[in-house]
Amino acid sequence: MCGRFFRHGVSWEEYHNALNLIHPNGIQPPEPAYNIAPTQYAPIIRMAPEGEDVPRHAIQMAPAMWGLVPSWWKKPLSEKKFSTFNARSEGLEASNTFRGPFRHHRCLIPASGFYEWTGPKGKKQPYAIGLRNRRWFCFAGLWDRAMIDGSEIDTFTILTTKPNDLMAGLHTRMPVILHPSDYRTWLDADNRKVEHLYEPFPTADMHAWPVNPAVGNVRNQGPQLIEEA
């Protein structure tokens, strides 16, 4: 499960070095964000959709809303009652919601860490979870484009998998975190043999620390949210 994440500031040079990402002319890289929640917009990295004025097979960054809306959804978003901010990596090709995006619209979601809560109801303690010696990394995700009320909307979901030893004490699921060497493999929609990418990220390369409960309010922002409580 991943219902909240954060991202430090990352330069275009860093994105380019990791992914050969196209630099948008005159546009600054995304600002840091420390309390990203479902229904908010966040940058995703994807293969440029056909028809866009960019080189073939180019990798681009684009804004998308967190909470995938499948292309076949035509009703107002207020009528969508099923949750799609996470997608179980098991059984993607059997899912009416995620089968199409898995085959055609895979993406990466840049992040520096995520949050989980544990403990008794009413006294849950939030934890921030990140990678050791890595300022940023990417979740595996899916995106889709739907036409809602006459306007196109791009949305995304974060894939989840079984927990590693660190996460098992916090939650029954964890996001699929990709190694940089696998970024291109995941983005290549022609490659269907990607089950090995769903393995939990190594416990030894991750760490978790308690943070202030203020992170529970999505209106709270700032780097102080990830300071150890």
* Token duo for residue 14: 């860093």
Cα–Cα dist 96/21, whole Å = 31
* Token duo for residue 179: 């190694």
The three-class DSSP label of residue 20 is coil
Cα–Cα dist 45/63, whole Å = 9
Specify whether the CB–CB gap between 45 and 60 falls below 8 A.
Answer: yes
> What are the distances in angstroms from CA 61 to CA 43, 126, 180, 215, 221?
6, 30, 16, 27, 23
Active site residues: 2, 116
